[in-house]
Every structure is written in structure tokens, then in C-alpha cells.
Amino acid sequence: MTAISLEPLDLAALLCSRVCHDVISPVGAIVNALEVLEEDDPSMRDFALELIKKSARAASARLQFARLAFGAAGSAGAMIDLGDAGNVANGFLNDEKLSLDWDAPRALLPKNQVKLLLNLLVIATQAVPRGGKLVSRATVEGEQGTFDITATGSHARIPAHVEELLAGRSETGTIDAHAVQPLYTGMVARAAGMGITFAIDGDTVTIKATKAA
């Protein structure tokens, strides 16, 4: 495996591409629905309005999640409320394919720990590509959190290359917009002083994040 060398500007560009990819679908649906409304077809009006409402909620949820998971979220050393993180995670992840069971105390944690938890949830969704149930448990001692996430669903698997990417390595030494999220997650984990482990048992993948030794 080759260590990944990524310039700050390239990292920023790839993360922006990732966020745009998540948001472009609901925004595109809103544009399509507005075009339907312009046709002034009464039979399609209710459908178009419902699509606009649904897509606007989805775009808002994805942007709110990205703001915490990828954004600055305040100045250096800022603390984030796990309750706020749970709200954006539920808004982003609960849909027709996935359900999220969030269990965390209403506590403040250093921002990198909370960003790590949210990014690990994104990786957990990739562990159940056909959908399923995510369970996120967080325990807090002082300013240190411990996270335990399970993803259960048909054809569950540890996402390909994710452990190498978390460690900052890849077979080619290059990275694209698809792979930047686990790479970024590993960077956040190291900044938070936490280690990540994976395990799989049947249709359940377990992801744990604990304070590094």
C-alpha cells in the first residue's frame, strides 16, 4: 500500500465535490418539479408541489449534515452538542432504505470527535448497500467519547478498501471524490486521538471508535 499525499487544495476540492454530489439530486428534482408547474397542468400540480417539499427537505437535511460532518463548525477547540449531531444524523439518514437508532447523552464533545462519529455513520451506510438498520451508541466520560456503530442488513460487508483509506493509504497512492470521505474520516480520527476498528458477523458490521492508546 502507498501512503496518500494530498495537497490541502485538492482535499478541499474533493470534499466539495462529495458534498455537491449529495445535494445535486434533490436540487435537480426541485428544478424538474418547477418546470412541471410552469406547464400549468392541474393534474400534475399536487405531484409537483409534493416533490418540491420532499426534495427541499432532503437537500436541507444533507446540507445540515455536511455542515457538521465536513464543515468548520466553529473555531479551533469548539465543542459540539451530541444532541444537535443526533438531530442532523436522523434527518439525513432516516429514509425508505435506512433507519437510524441514535443513543447518545446530551453532552458537549470536542468537534473532531463529533465529526468523526458523523463520518463513521456515512461509512456504516456503505456497509449495507441494500439498506437496513444503523444503531449508534455513544458513551461520554469528561470530554472523551467512545462510539459503537452497527449496520445490519442484507449483504452487509466492510466497505472495500475503507480500512486502508482510513489509515491514509491506497493501492495507487491517488484518491478521487468517492474515496475522499473515508480518507478524511481517518484524518479526523487522528486529529481527535481516536482509533477505529471493524468487525463483521453475518449481516452485521460493527464499527468502534475509542481513544487511541
* Joined grid coordinates for residue 192: 481527535
* Joined grid coordinates for residue 210: 475509542
d(CA 25, CA 30): 9
Highest mean pLDDT of the ranges 13-22, 171-180, 202-211: 202-211
Burial class (CB in 10 A: 0-12, 13-18, 19+), 191: middle
| Verdict on whether the full-model pTM lies above 0.75 | yes
- What separation in angstroms does the CA of 42 have from each of 30, 31, 39, 50, 56? 18, 18, 9, 14, 22
| pLDDT tens, position by position, 28-42 | 999 999 999 888 788
Taking the mean position of all CA atoms in its chain, how far away is CA 163? 16
Whether the per-residue pLDDT at 166 is higher than 80: the answer is yes
Helix and strand numbers (H, E) in the chain are 6, 9
| Helix, strand, coil in percent for the chain, rounding step 5 | 50, 25, 25
What pLDDT does 203 receive? 96
What pLDDT does 31 receive? 95
104 close to 137: Cβ distance less than 8 angstroms: yes
| Region of residue 160 (left: phi > 0; alpha: psi -120 to 50; beta: else) | beta
What pLDDT does 200 receive? 97
Whether the per-residue pLDDT at 74 is higher than 60: the answer is no
